[in-house]
């Protein structure tokens, strides 16, 4: 079943690069008592993700801060080393966006948002979406129809919705 507005974020463990290497991040604990915006992409370094999705959140990060969003998080089914390099390459890390790896597709699968595109080597990847969660409950959800499009899930659309 696909996650919907009013649902709780699933129990899932993500991974981020810390000063001493990969660190486990509990999605439930990260969102508890906080206002977070999460956007997910099919893959780091892929065309639409790099040229449209991440840049839209870099452009709008200050607007989210002004609206009381505690953290903007980018999630992809990649390893934490790739997510760190991608965050640095795109400027997302410097902009204050948290880059989290859903390495085992645990969060993506639990949310019912996984898809496969074997011809391009994408397996158990995340559909493209953006959501706002307050204290772990989804309050806004913008899900793209196609993984190659970034319209309703972009930073500007999310900022306008919250």
- Catalytic pick among 15, 31, 36, 49: 49
CA distances 45 to 7, 62, 66, 136, Å, are 30, 24, 29, 28
How high is the pLDDT of residue 123? 75
How does pLDDT run along the chain (162 residues), one tens digit per residue?
A: 799 999 999 999 999 999 999 999 999 999 999 999 999 999 999 989 999 999 999 999 999 999 999 999 999 999 999 999 999 999 999 999 999 999 999 999 999 999 888 787 777 899 999 999 999 999 999 999 988 899 999 999 999 999
Assign domain 13-161 to a CATH class.
alpha beta
Whole-angstrom distance, CA of residue 90 vs CA of residue 68? 24
How high is the pLDDT of residue 122? 73
The yes-or-no answer on residue 49 being catalytic is: yes
How high is the pLDDT of residue 124? 83
Whole-angstrom distance, CA of residue 152 vs CA of residue 148? 12
């Amino acid at each position: 079943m696909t996650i919907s507005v009013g649902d709780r974020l699933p129990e899932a463990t993500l991974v981020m690069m810390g000063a001493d290497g990969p660190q486990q991040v509990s999605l439930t604990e990260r969102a508890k008592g906080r206002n977070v915006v999460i956007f997910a992409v099919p893959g780091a370094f892929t065309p639409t993700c790099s040229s449209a999705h991440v840049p839209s959140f870099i452009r709008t990060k200050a607007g989210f801060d002004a609206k009381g969003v505690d953290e903007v998080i980018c999630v992809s089914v990649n390893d934490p080393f790739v997510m760190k390099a991608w965050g640095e390459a795109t400027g997302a890390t410097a902009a204050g966006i948290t880059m989290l790896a859903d390495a085992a597709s645990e969060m993506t699968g639990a949310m019912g948002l996984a898809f496969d595109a074997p011809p391009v080597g994408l397996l158990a990847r995340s559909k493209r979406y953006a959501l706002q969660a307050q204290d772990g409950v989804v309050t806004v959800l913008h899900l793209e129809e196609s993984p190659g499009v970034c319209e309703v899930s972009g930073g500007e659309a999310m900022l306008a919705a919250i």
